[in-house]
């Protein structure tokens, strides 16, 4: 199985009303070796749904997206990128989608696929950094180690000594930061001993 670490920036929190405006991803083989990265801005069809609150998070204005393609052009480009890195395999069902609270990203991406009448090519397998962090931090805490109180990407990555370059969220930077955290957790697996 391969790992796709995905992060999506949106115009707000509600699929169907709000839309994807940036897709960032890093693709890994089954040994967590990076095979490539992807970053694409997306122009939203529903400009009314573009909220000031979301702009504060990702720092993208509607003007920044003026020359960006729309989602119906981005999805095929994104799949083409994945298929090329996936050893040329046209079937993407061997890919595990990973991310921080990744169900939100998947919901938005699934909605976009459905709206554009494109078949969902991925499996239902996913790994959520939020859940992994919660479980690992509980184990570490029970073993006397200090862990962060928050499970935000900033807190989890900070635990491992990583941080964002900027205050705003860039989908690719967040995907790469998330991937670095996953790699650290996978290293921890080798150290966990059950008594």
54 CB contacts (<8 Å, ≥6 apart)?
A: 9, 10, 11, 12, 18
Return the axis-axis angle of helices 129-142 and 171-191, rounded to nearest 10°: 40
CA 20 to chain centre: 12
For the chain, domains (ranges, CATH) are: 2-191 (3.30.420.10)
Whole-number pLDDT of residue 134: 97
Whole-number pLDDT of residue 47: 86
Whole-number pLDDT of residue 179: 98
The rounded distance, in Å, linking the Cα atoms of 72 and 94 is 23
The rounded distance, in Å, linking the Cα atoms of 69 and 87 is 26
Could you state, in chain order, the average pLDDT of each consecutive group of 10 residues for the chain (195 residues)? Answer: 96 93 97 97 92 86 94 97 88 95 97 96 96 94 94 96 84 97 91 69
12-35 residue pLDDT tens = 999 989 999 999 999 999 999 999
The rounded distance, in Å, linking the Cα atoms of 174 and 26 is 10
């Amino acid at each position: 199985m391969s790992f796709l670490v995905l992060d999506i920036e949106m115009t707000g929190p509600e699929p169907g009303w709000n839309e994807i405006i940036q897709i960032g991803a890093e693709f890994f083989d089954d040994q967590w070796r990076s095979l490539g990265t992807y970053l694409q801005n997306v122009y939203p069809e529903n400009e009314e749904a573009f909220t000031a609150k979301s702009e504060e998070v990702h720092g993208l204005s509607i003007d920044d997206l003026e020359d960006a393609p729309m989602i119906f052009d981005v999805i095929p480009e994104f799949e083409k990128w994945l298929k090329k890195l996936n050893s040329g395999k046209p079937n993407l069902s061997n890919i595990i989608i990973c991310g921080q609270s990744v169900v939100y990203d998947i919901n938005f991406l699934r909605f976009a696929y459905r709206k554009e009448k494109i078949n969902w090519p991925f499996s239902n397998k996913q790994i959520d950094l939020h859940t992994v962090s919660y479980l690992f931090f509980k184990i570490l805490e029970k073993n006397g180690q200090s862990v962060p109180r928050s499970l935000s990407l900033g807190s989890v990555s900070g635990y491992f000594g990583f941080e964002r370059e900027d205050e705003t969220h860039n989908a690719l930077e967040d995907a790469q930061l998330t991937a670095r955290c996953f790699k650290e957790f996978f290293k921890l697996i080798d150290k966990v001993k059950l008594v």
